[in-house]
């Protein structure tokens, strides 16, 4: 269970997140929605500690995330993988090496410094690429791939970290509708098949409704809606998005059917 208790973040005199309290049970697929500037990215980044809260606490099980530093903080970041709008791959490296980067926290320091990957690590990375139908791209430079392919590589890299949670910050914001569906289906698969918690910032309400079990609506740094997608009425949605309602309430592709939800550890990739 991920628990945020009265978490706030200020940038100079601007309050980005204001007194957010939330409990997210393991295995949830949560969508964080709201208009631009509502505080969605800051909220996610605080969980991963890319941004430190100004006040409040974040706990995951018995770990007090807000107090971690050094190796303990690095370990935490390995347990909650981030996925970004701009993929954050190393463009000049091949796809397989990019995915192997996700194994860095799993291998002894000496080997990780020398980038000496075991056969097992390579097999895990290749199996992750296969999951998302991009194993044939393993030897290509990451920067030669389309946006949708790059985001699937980033998701494969996150998966081989064997995380407890994946935090996805607008993962489809720069993708076309077909790739949007492919990437959202990949996140859904990770959630359903491996039981990994997914918290995903989304601008499109249709997408959030289609994929998430629970929506958290933010406005001016506060949580103003927290519930199942079907509880979010059109009126509440219009309030949430204000002038952006037209764009945010547009139609989005439907997810794959939610079948075959077998829990399995990420290590079971091979």
Ligand X SMILES: Nc1ncnc2c1ncn2[C@@H]1O[C@H](COP(=O)(O)OP(=O)(O)OP(=O)(O)O)[C@@H](O)[C@H]1O
Q: Which chain residues interact with ligand X by CB under 6 A? A: 11, 14, 16, 34, 36-42
Q: Which is nearer to ligand X, 203 or 209 (CB)?
A: 203
CB 93 within 8 A of CB 137: no
Q: Which is nearer to ligand X, 94 or 206 (CB)?
A: 206
Tokens of 262: 């077998």
| Shortest Å, Cβ 96 to ligand X | 31
CB 34 within 8 A of CB 40: yes
How many other C-beta atoms can be found within 10 angstroms of the C-beta atom of residue 136? 10
> What 3-state DSSP class applies to 84?
strand
Assign 3-class secondary structure to 170-212: CCCCCCCHHHHHHHHHHHHHHHHHHCCEEEEECCCHHHHHHHC
Q: Which is nearer to ligand X, 149 or 204 (CB)?
A: 204
E strand or H helix at 128, and its extent?
helix 119-131
| Shortest Å, Cβ 151 to ligand X | 17
Q: Which is nearer to ligand X, 39 or 148 (CB)?
A: 39
Q: Which is nearer to ligand X, 11 or 86 (CB)?
A: 11
Q: What are phi and psi of 11, to 5 degrees?
A: -115, 110
Q: What are phi and psi of 168, to 5 degrees?
A: -115, 115
| Shortest Å, Cβ 153 to ligand X | 22
| Shortest Å, Cβ 132 to ligand X | 25
| Shortest Å, Cβ 22 to ligand X | 15
């Amino acid at each position: 269970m991920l628990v945020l208790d009265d978490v706030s973040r200020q940038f100079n005199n601007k309050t980005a997140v204001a007194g957010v309290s939330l409990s997210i049970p393991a295995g949830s697929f949560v969508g964080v929605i709201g208009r631009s500037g509502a505080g969605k990215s800051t909220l996610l980044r605080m969980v991963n500690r890319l941004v430190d809260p100004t006040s409040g606490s974040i706990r995951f099980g018995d770990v007090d995330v807000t107090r971690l530093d050094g190796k303990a903080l690095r370990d935490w970041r390995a347990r909650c993988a981030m996925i970004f709008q701009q993929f954050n791959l190393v463009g000049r490296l091949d796809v397989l090496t990019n995915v192997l980067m996700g194994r860095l926290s799993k291998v002894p320091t000496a080997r990780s410094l020398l980038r000496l990957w075991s056969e097992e690590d390579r097999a895990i990375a290749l199996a992750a690429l296969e999951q998302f139908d991009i194993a044939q791209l393993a030897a290509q430079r990451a920067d030669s791939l389309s946006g949708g392919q790059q985001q699937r590589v980033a998701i494969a890299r996150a998966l081989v970290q064997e995380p407890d949670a994946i935090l996805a910050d607008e993962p489809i914001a720069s993708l076309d509708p077909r790739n949007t569906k492919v990437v959202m289906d990949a996140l859904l698969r990770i959630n359903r098949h491996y039981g990994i918690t997914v918290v995903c910032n989304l601008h499109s309400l249709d997408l959030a409704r289609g994929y998430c079990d629970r929506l958290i609506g933010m406005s001016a740094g506060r949580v103003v809606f927290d519930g199942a997608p079907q509880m979010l009425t059109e009126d509440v949605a219009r309030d949430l998005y204000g002038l952006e309602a037209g764009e945010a309430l547009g139609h989005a592709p439907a997810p794959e059917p939610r079948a075959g939800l077998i829990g399995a550890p990420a290590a079971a990739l091979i």
